[in-house]
Structure 1
């Protein structure tokens, strides 16, 4: 069977991770217990997850013309990802994320976009033929919103499924929402995207409100509870394996990468969610973003 062609359009960051006893409060200084630098960024994490899930992945992104950017490209190439569409931006740093990871597995993240802000519609147009040759297109919101809207219109006109992981939560115009095949927010993002924040009672109410805005299907990730799905035929929770979390960084990205590959293989939404849950559950038992993402042979 040929590998499904997945195009991921999104952010590339260098993650600087500090292990701490707990997430620092405002004004509080804590002594860290460990430090590491690894590749990250929601777009990059999802591209790596899709590649490890068995996809033929092309990653469209912008990095700085610096050491971090070159290291990122080399790392993606080792994963078998097509990096020919990654643009190097002069005089602008590669995006970075500063991550505190508590002993409980909880994290707090601050992102400086850097070169990610240069991934604009005119850059996307250079790779139109590549994008339109995809089985599925996956995006997130660590890149300019106008780029997300531009890609959505382009891909929807070609009747190619387009998945948006609306993270971090940002306002998206209703016209774009109506063209999306699937959105995959977490509980907080679903509440904000629905317009019900902070009054949303639960993920079901948020998902229904998002669907009313025109999105065909909604999958709300629920952490250790699994994921709630809503489409035009059914709804329900697909439970996740119970594990001891040590670092939740990139769990959602792992979920999304595996989800789109399974969907592109023709699996039902619930089947795709089930495998994506298993992959995400493994990822939280490991430290780091991309280092934590499992390979498909670890799930079968």
Structure 2
């Protein structure tokens, strides 16, 4: 149950991120090096970290817009249609002739764990000029989210613009990579999972003390507000005013593919700009991701606000 009420109004959210067509191979267990195994079945669905986050925000009633890029191909048409189906503004999704639409191959085992291989394609071909064309959109937002499936220099340009207009910026550093100089200075909140946090700070996440150490290292790197997600254990948070840990809801996971993205998208829809309701927003995000992992696929698994309220009433 939520401790108190979330705000009635949701945020205007802009997501700058990736659009991928996901191919999921369902297998009994992960292959060993050099081993050939048979897939039990194969499914295709819309995905990409950016798309997942945007759909999660939209299904939590955030007014959501997308900045991204696809190829001039059927996969690109498929991804734009998938966003529009959830009422997401796609006016700032550009189409390129230089690269194909991004894609991902997901190995999903019977325990619900996955390994993901991503082809960036049009996502990685994005240029910073798309951001100058999106200034009005960004300026009107409450929250701008980005991750590392699109070029960091594009995110940096977008975040600088967002800060000029007083817009909250949330960085999901996934997949983990060296953060380019300057990006954290225009980031209000960084949201890595435990593996990404270790990669970025060099400090292993084992307990609350080690999470505090990670937060201190991030502060030394220039970012004060941190959320570290730790899978089925929950989420740690640290801001300039408070820190704590919100436990996850215990469920049987079938597919964890979009869990972290659902968490971020749902959180972005509800959090206040001053983080005054951060614990409630985190509880809501945990509820959303707990439903996602019980379903198959990326976009199809993401719940609506109504489903979350019905499940955790």
- Shorter-chain-normalised TM-score: which range? over 0.9
Give the number of equivalent residue pairs.
300
Taking the TM superposition and a 5 Å limit, the aligned residue runs for 1:184-223 are 184-196=191-203, 202-223=210-231
2:292 is aligned to 283
Shift of 1:280: 0.5
Q: CA deviation at 1:272?
A: 0.7
- Whole-angstrom distance in 2 between the partners of 1:160 and 1:279: 24
Stretch of structure 1 that moved more, 238-247 or 169-178 = 169-178
1:182 to 189, 199, 203: 189
1:261 and 2:256 correspond: no
Q: Separation in 2 of the partners of 1:109 and 1:134?
A: 31
After TM superposition, where is structure 1 displaced by more than 4 Å over at least 4 residues in a row?
Answer: 197-201, 264-267
CA deviation after TM superposition for structure 1 residue 2, in Å: 5.7
Q: How far does the alpha carbon of each residue in 1:162-194 deviate from its partner, in whole angstroms, 9 at most, with x for none?
A: 000110001113422122110100001111222
**What is the aligned partner in structure 1 of residue 253 from structure 2?**
245
Give the corresponding residue for 2:106.
99
Give RMSD over aligned pairs: 1.8
Q: How does 1:88-127 map to 2 (within 5 A)?
A: 88-127=95-134
CA drift of 1:264 comes to 4.7
Q: Which runs of 5+ in 2 are unaligned?
A: 1-7
SS of corresponding position for 1:83: strand
Q: Secondary structure at the match of 2:271?
A: helix
> In 2, are the aligned partners of 1:174 and 1:213 still within 8 Å (CA)?
no
Residue 152 of structure 2 contacts residue 180 of structure 2 at CA under 8 Å; is this kept in 1? no
Cα distance in 1 for residues equivalent to 2:216 and 2:291: 29
The Cα shift of 1:240 comes to 1.2
Q: Name the structure 1 match of 2:171.
A: 164
String of CA shifts for 1:3-25, please: whole Å, max 9, x gaps: 52110000000000011011112
Three-state SS of the structure 2 residue aligned to 1:202 is: helix
Structure 1 window deviating more from structure 2 (193-202 vs 57-66): it is 193-202
Whether contact under 8 Å (1:166, 1:183) holds in the other structure is yes
Which of 271, 280, 286 lines up with 1:271 in the alignment? 280
Matched, 1:78 2:65: no
Shift of 1:245: 0.6
Moved more, 24-33 or 215-224: 24-33
Taking a change above 3 Å as real, the CA distance of residues 287 and 267 of structure 1, as seen in their structure-2 partners, is farther
Structure 1 unpaired stretches of 5+: none
Cα distance per residue 1:143-176 (max 9 Å; x no partner): 0011111112111122211000110001113422
Q: Which residue of 1 aligns with 2:12?
A: 5
Residue matched to 1:225:
233
TM-score (norm 1): 0.95
- Asked if 2 retains the 8 angstrom alpha-carbon contact of 1:62 and 1:88, the reply is yes
2:159 aligned counterpart, secondary structure:
helix
In 2, the alpha carbon distance for the partners of 1:166 and 1:101 equals 23
Q: TM-score, normalised by structure 2?
A: 0.91
